[in-house]
Every structure is written in structure tokens, then in C-alpha cells.
């Protein structure tokens, strides 16, 4: 069933589900990032069971969960009465968000330096 946007936004603002959801999404992002790193470091490319498609799925899953955790964490921090719980979800997602931002910047601008 489809939930009306007003019900979902009221629950998020009242801090009923925002902070736990931000923590859960951030933990899921860290889980997929750890799976991706484990598969990338598991040996030579030809001997790995998880090849490019699998690692790409892990990367974009972690990125999506991290962005969602950051957004919901910001909502929890700026619109709640207890900001400590909301900040915990945001603080769990921020380091991983910085890692993904660094990967994005280096990946896009390295072609300018090394054509």
C-alpha cells in the first residue's frame, strides 16, 4: 500500500523513525562498502568469484544507502527534539560519504591530469 507523504513526513519530523532509519541505512552502507573492499582485495581479478558487475552492485548499493542515511540524518538533526540521537546517524554516514565523494572527485578529475 502507498503511504501518504504527509504521514511519512510527520513521522520523520517527530523523530519516531528518522534517527533509527538513518542509523540502519548508514550501517547498511558500511556493510556493502566492507563487502566491496573485501571482494576487491580478495586476490587477482581472474580468481575472484565476484567480478566487475558484483563489485559495481556493492558500490552503488553502498552509495545509495549512504546518501539516504545522510539525508534522513540531516532531517533527524535539524527537526527533532533530541538531536543527539539524530546526530549519531549522521556521524555514522559522514565518513563513508566523504570516502565516496573522494572516489567521485578523483575518478572524474584524474582524466584531466592524466589524459
Instruction: Map out the domains of the chain as residue ranges.
Output: 29-42+49-113
pLDDT for the residue 8? 54
The pTM score is 0.79
pLDDT for the residue 100? 93
Closest listed residue to residue 80, CA positions, set 1, 2, 21: 21
Residues of the chain predicted below pLDDT 50: 1
Q: How far from 39 is each of 35, 42, 43, 55, CA to CA, in Å?
A: 6, 5, 8, 7
Amino acid at each position: 500500500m502507498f503511504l501518504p507523504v504527509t504521514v511519512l513526513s510527520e513521522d520523520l519530523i517527530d523523530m519516531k523513525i528518522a534517527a533509527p532509519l538513518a542509523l540502519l541505512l548508514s550501517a547498511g552502507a558500511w556493510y556493502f562498502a566492507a563487502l566491496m573492499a573485501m571482494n576487491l582485495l580478495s586476490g587477482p581479478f581472474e580468481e575472484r568469484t565476484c567480478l566487475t558487475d558484483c563489485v559495481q552492485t556493492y558500490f552503488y548499493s553502498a552509495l545509495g544507502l549512504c546518501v539516504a542515511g545522510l539525508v534522513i540524518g540531516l532531517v533527524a538533526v535539524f527537526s527533532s527534539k533530541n538531536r543527539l540521537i539524530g546526530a549519531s546517524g549522521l556521524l555514522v554516514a559522514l565518513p563513508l560519504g566523504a570516502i565516496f565523494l573522494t572516489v567521485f572527485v578523483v575518478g572524474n578529475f584524474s582524466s584531466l591530469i592524466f589524459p
